[in-house]
Amino acid sequence: MKRLIVPLAVLLIAGCGGTAPQTPAPAATGPIGAPEKTALKIGMRLPNLDTNAPVEIALDKGFYKEEGLTVERVEVQSIREGLVGGSLDFGAEASPDVVAAATAGTGLRIVAGYRNREPFVVVVRPEIAKPQDLAGKPVLLGANPGTIEYDVRMQLLKEAGFDLTGVAVKPVNLPGGSNAWVEQFKQGKLAMTVIFPRHKKLVQGRLVLDVMKEWPNDSLTALQDFVDRNPNTTARFIRATIKGIKVFKDPAQQAYVQKLMRAKGFTVTPLEEEPEVYANGPLLYDDDMGLNAKGFEELLAVLKLPPAPFESFTHLGQLTRAQDALGVAKRP
Domain boundaries, the chain: 8-117+216-326, 119-213
The CATH-assigned architecture of domain 119-213 is 3-Layer(aba) Sandwich (3.40)
For the entire predicted model, the pTM comes to 0.85
End-to-end CA distance of the chain: 26
Over its length of 332 residues, how does the chain's per-residue pLDDT go in tens digits? 444 444 434 343 334 433 333 343 444 678 999 999 999 999 998 788 999 999 999 999 999 999 999 999 999 989 999 999 999 999 999 998 999 999 999 999 999 999 999 999 999 999 999 999 999 999 999 778 888 778 889 999 999 999 999 999 999 988 777 888 999 999 999 999 999 898 898 899 999 999 999 999 999 999 999 999 999 999 999 999 999 999 999 999 999 999 999 999 998 989 889 999 999 999 999 999 999 999 999 989 888 888 999 999 999 999 999 999 999 988 75
CA distance 99 to 305: 10
**CA neighbours closer than 13 Å in the CB half-sphere of residue 327:** 0
Three-state DSSP at 109 gives strand
Render 172-238 in DSSP notation, one character per residue. ---SSHHHHHHHHHHTTS-SEEEE-GGGGGG--SEEEEEEEE----EEEEEEHHHHHH-HHHHHHHH
φ, ψ of residue 238 in degrees (nearest 5): -65, -40
Distance, CA of 138 to CA of 12 (rounded, Å):
38
- 8-117+216-326: in CATH 1.20.120.530: no
Q: Running DSSP on this structure, what letter comes out for residue 39?
A: E
Q: What SS3 class is residue 305?
A: coil
Report helix, strand or coil for 253: helix
Q: Give helix then strand counts, H and E, for the chain.
A: 13, 10
Largest CA distance in the chain: 65
Do residues 138 and 189 lie in contact, with contact meaning Cβ atoms separated by under 8 Å? yes
